[in-house]
Structure 1
């Protein structure tokens, strides 16, 4: 069993919370020395020991017949063993139970479902993983109807947690319960929604504590409305904590980044200053509102929303910078993190990471900062090689050197470094380009004093060339000679300058949802979702932005279901 990884701030928080719990009179849910022997660890210490965590997503939370309904294989003990071997100390186990429950008034959960959930919980505990069990998509399947069906929803919610509490009442305190995932209430204004969530959280607390056994002091986790880190959401949750006055509680929120960056829309294809400020702001609010009150905090899910389609929605270097920064902010705030993985990260059959570089960055962020850079790709024209400049984000590190493969480059000759400004001279780039064939010709690795290296691709490229095309609103692709370049984003405007297509408030369209590059086929695909919101008979000028800085315009005209495209 590995020793817990927790930051200095988390350790201090745990110590203060433990001291407070020892000095204060026993409250409902406090450890009872007469029953349990020595005082049990504080909630802060339990939560800190969970760092880092991983979500078993799209499995028991899947809406369907069983855990394979959303495409993942059945959970094996070998999977959980591998998760622990990869350095995780906890797992979040989302479960959706509404479709497995019988009718009112008992809402009996199918025994086979409960048995299977318990089996996986026990496997995880046996692997020395702390488990956070949460009621998941029930939030939008039925608890969201609470404004119009208050009594029925409360009765089902109560019955659900009564059954879960009874089933797991004697499990160790390394099993935690989370009341409801991303709570939401149809048609309710915020004030009403806050009151309804408070009612659910209080009922959850009452039910679990009344069930006895280890549930008397089990750590219970309460979410904000929508599991959001907005200040009003946090303030409402604090009021619930104050009213419950139970030292064995923790809070949870989710973070998927600044929305335009998270899905790659509205020109948010870079992890720029605005996106970075959003990340820093979320953790600052959580720290100041919850952490400062001694409330332990779990980041129950984090990632990028574009990953729901595929991890290529966000450019590799930009996503690496996001995860490095998020890890730093969480560690500084003393927040335990639980990475959302619905099967797109850890291959649950091969038990290998689909993107080892991404995992390496996240793993490193659990302990320290890594150096990053303004880009992980430089584009060089084969016929006109010039110096390329990359700005390093040292993040408190120093540069140990640059390598190409096993060859260490010579400072002052192969490159120059002035502060954080790295210059790759034309002489080096020319050698690396070789015959100038388009595509990645070499990788320059920048190694820092701590953390993981930063990889810069040297890409041979010329301006892309687009050709005329014809198709339909259901199938339209622009023939594209990428010539080594890579598509970053697309703008769409009518002749009068107004925005065309979905998300009419911005000219920049959403990557993969409305357009997508297919370098293998040599095309840029315009999806039906784009044409569904394009005015018939009005030409649309598309501006394609490439990572090299090149911009190429193209015109499309929809006439009914027919689409024609013209280059230039």
Structure 2
């Protein structure tokens, strides 16, 4: 009894005191996020309860690092299991999301374990709180324009965590720290990690994400952040797997959508602000009455995404959030609809995203779209101008979340001619940079060999990298064709200086001689017969030499000196599922193919143009000396005669005649 009495006397005389810092970190219509720091100024405590009264009718809706209960305006926050012990002069923190209407005044007083917090041990109650306005946040989030600018350039970990059903299903290896380190070392400042969640969560109502999958996503995010990347994650192929059904089943889809984002937001709430959330990849919808309804339902999903992420608190209160247009398309109507969403949200830390795969005929090589010409250029500048004028000029940053050409692929060589692709890369870099757009290369393995950690085409990467900071000179072509026999005459190329100055030609480490090997007149470069004869060597079919045009800045322009004769073809028989034209290419390369009926109208698929789609409808096989006509081509060809015209990069055109009868196909070169 004596010991107990002594203990009671000691406790009664224990020093008590506390200080509270209450700060509204984010506020929106009807809601806010608050962070509370409680500093113990007295003797150590083990277990705490902080109480206050809301003066303006506010209410706590969600809390973290504490259990919060309310009775009318009275609120009590009790420690969690892991933060109950608070030493002298130590601070414990918790936070919450709340609701408000009419005003959001700060509480006037706080008590810690029943003792009023005065900012000192004992004394007159003078709580130290950080006041907040009733209509705007007390602290502005980070500058979204600066954040997006710092993300340039970006790279997509494509066909990986977005692959269905798992990470390696679409041919890419498991992601490693070595891969991420390599990408970072190549100059990329951000990484977009597309994630498809469809096959990795449970059923309604919880839609609980598989722990192993969520941990794998978090692991790659953490590795990427450790490398210094800005990181963007999203809901990816979920867009067409189930989100697209939202117009017809709003309750189910919205419940699933919000359940996933609530779990993702909670998982990454404490992560660095360099982690960015993108609501949906390429949103699209079924069963709508048209674009107006499409815009409406996308607005609903984007708006709900922003609200629930903000309400999750922590770092999510100010995290950069990225909203897509319909289809992530840059048509003006799509941009205007997203602008309406931004205007309604009044959230200062948002960015817009679109995707860019170039002028479609060039991107897939159809309708004669073999070259980087004025159509491609106008599509590029028009797209980038629209997003700049709609968003960037108003202070809303834009991320081009995916870009490339659709059919540039190491598995489909020749679809896009290399020099034409280099010109596209150079232009995208320049036009994006001058309009303050951040670009994130779509790479599903067609650019970086992830097994060997090397670029599949170093020259392609070099041009891309140079475009991030400067312009490079190009030319009308990267090929000069010469005949196998007979006299060699001069050849000309038109240089596209792009603000540079021409410095000369070089073969390896040897400079070619101006006046002897080449001449310049304005932007016309002429290679002399003597130089071409020397470069052609024994004039074997194919590339005999490569020279480079050097400019005052940027990368050099490669020029292949090629020996070729007009290709020849032979008769063939086959079926609509297996037909190949024997072809001696003789050093030349196929550019495109036309197909016409006897009356001159286009034959086969895409019947609005005689020029068919490279690889989808026809494909050269240089090793087998054939040109394959695909079943997809014959599936839309009428019975009867068809005339094919093959266009080659040398400029040569040759004609071939087909006759289709049911599933039987015959062909002849005359």
Match in the other structure for 1:119:
219
The structure with more helix, counted as a fraction of residues: 1
* Matched-pair contact (CA < 8 Å) for 2:177–2:223: yes
Per-residue Cα deviation, 1:286-310 (whole angstroms, up to 9, x for no partner): 1101011100110100001113663
Q: Alpha-carbon deviation of 1:345? A: 1.2
Per the TM alignment, residue 384 of structure 1 is displaced from its structure 2 partner at its CA by 3.4
Structure 2 stretches of 5 or more lacking a match?
1-24, 38-92, 94-137
Question: CA offsets per residue over residues 266-288 of structure 1, 9 Å max, x none?
Answer: 00011111111000100000110
Query: What is the RMSD computed on CA atoms of the aligned residues?
Result: 1.8
Q: TM-score, normalised by structure 1?
A: 0.93
Deviation at 1:430, TM superposition (A): 1.3
Would the aligned equivalents of 2:26 and 2:139 in 1 still touch at CA under 8 Å? no
Aligned equivalent of 1:16? none
Indicate yes or no: 2:406 matched with 1:282.
no
Aligned partners of 1:33 and 1:39 also within 8 Å: no
Q: Note the 1:59-458 alignment, pairs <5 A.
A: 59-64=160-165, 66-188=166-288, 189-307=290-408, 310=412, 312-382=414-484, 383-458=486-561
**Equivalents in 2 of 1:339, 1:435: separation in Å?**
41
Unaligned runs of 5+ in 1: 1-24
Q: Could you report, residue by residue, the CA deviation over 1:97-141 in whole angstroms, capped at 9, with x for unpaired residues? A: 012121111111111100100000000000001100111000000
Verify the 8 A CA contact 2:502 2:551 in the aligned structure 1.
Answer: yes
Residue of structure 2 in register with 1:8 after alignment? none
Q: 1:381-425, CA deviations, whole angstroms, 9 ceiling, x for partnerless residues?
A: 132312111011000000111011221011111101112110112
Cα displacement (A) at 1:531: 0.8
Given that 1:310 and 1:344 are in contact with CA atoms closer than 8 Å, whether structure 2 keeps it comes out as no
Local SS of the residue matching 1:492: strand
Q: Number of residues paired by the alignment?
A: 542
TM-aligned CA distance change 1:285 to 1:39, over 3 Å: closer
Q: Residues of 2 paired with 1:420 and 1:27: CA distance? A: 58
Give 3-state SS (helix, strand or coil) of 1:286's partner: helix
CA distance in 2, matches of 1:348, 1:460: 35
Rounded Cα–Cα distance in structure 2 between residues aligned with 1:152 and 1:33: 33
Q: Is the CA contact (8 Å cut-off) linking 1:144 and 1:184 kept in structure 2?
A: yes
Structure whose CA Rg is larger: 2
CA change 1:196–1:398 in 2 (3 A) is same
Tell me the SS of whatever aligns to 1:312: coil
SS of the aligned residue for 1:359 comes to: helix
Q: Judging by fraction of residues, say which structure has more strand.
A: 2
Deviation at 1:47, TM superposition (A): 0.9
- Structure scoring higher RCO (CA < 8 A, sep ≥ 6) equals 1
Counterpart of 1:313 in 2: which secondary structure?
coil
Query: How do residues 483-522 of structure 1 correspond to structure 2 at under 5 angstroms?
Result: 483-522=586-625
1:557: Cα distance to partner? 1.2
Shift of 1:437: 1.2
Give the drift of 1:564. 0.9
SS at match of 1:147: helix
Alpha-carbon displacement from aligned partner over 1:235-267 (angstroms, at most 9, x marks no partner): 111110111111110110000000000000000
Q: Deviations over 1:478-497 (max 9, x none)?
A: 11111111110000001011
- Tell me how far 1:532 sits from its aligned partner: 0.9
Contact preservation (8 Å) 1:30, 1:248? no
- Change beyond 3 A, Cα 1:30–1:486: farther
Answer yes or no: is the 8 Å Cα contact 1:31–1:40 preserved in 2.
no
| Residues 325-377 of structure 1, C-alpha deviations (whole Å, 9 max, x = no match) | 01111001101110000111111111111111111111111101111111000
